[in-house]
């Protein structure tokens, strides 16, 4: 059974940093593109970033470029999101999601999702 379990969320002051983790199990983690998708309270879904199987390619939504860094450790079956210079508008539930692509290019769809971890940016 595919499982994605996020952790690391919490309350942080504006300008602060947080590192999210996603532990994957039930599939060959190193074979798949992975993404982070967020959802502000009461709002819709927003894709944040994705990373290729070997970590050699990473893409970000414009609003987080230069502040967030996606990474992965295939030996630990884990995905990460380092978030720096956090702003109030980054407040959201952050989901780890699997892209079904096992090839060199992503499909940009998300077939499995974690339960999410809440990040609140507030003073």
Does 61 interact with other proteins (rule: CB under 8 A)?
A: yes
- We find the least distance from the C-beta atom of residue 35 to other proteins, in angstroms, to be 8
Half-sphere CA count of 65, side-chain side, radius 13 A: 6
Pick the binder of other proteins from 114, 117, 119, 121 (CB under 8 A): 114
* Alpha-carbon span 122 to 81, nearest angstrom: 19
- We find the least distance from the C-beta atom of residue 43 to other proteins, in angstroms, to be 9
Interface residue list for other proteins (CB under 8 A): 44-47, 59, 61-62, 95, 100, 107-111, 113-116
């Amino acid at each position: 059974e595919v499982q994605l379990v996020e952790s690391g969320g919490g309350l942080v002051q504006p300008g602060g940093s947080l590192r999210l983790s996603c532990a994957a199990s039930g599939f060959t983690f190193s074979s798949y593109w992975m993404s982070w998708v967020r959802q502000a309270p009461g709002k819709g879904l927003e894709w944040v970033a994705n990373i290729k199987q070997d970590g050699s390619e990473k893409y970000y939504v414009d609003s987080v470029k230069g502040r967030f860094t996606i990474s992965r450790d295939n030996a630990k079956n884990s995905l990460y999101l380092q978030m720096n210079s956090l702003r109030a508008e980054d407040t959201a539930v952050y989901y780890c999601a699997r892209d079904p692509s096992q090839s060199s290019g992503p499909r940009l769809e998300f077939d499995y999702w974690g339960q999410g971890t809440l990040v609140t940016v507030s003073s």
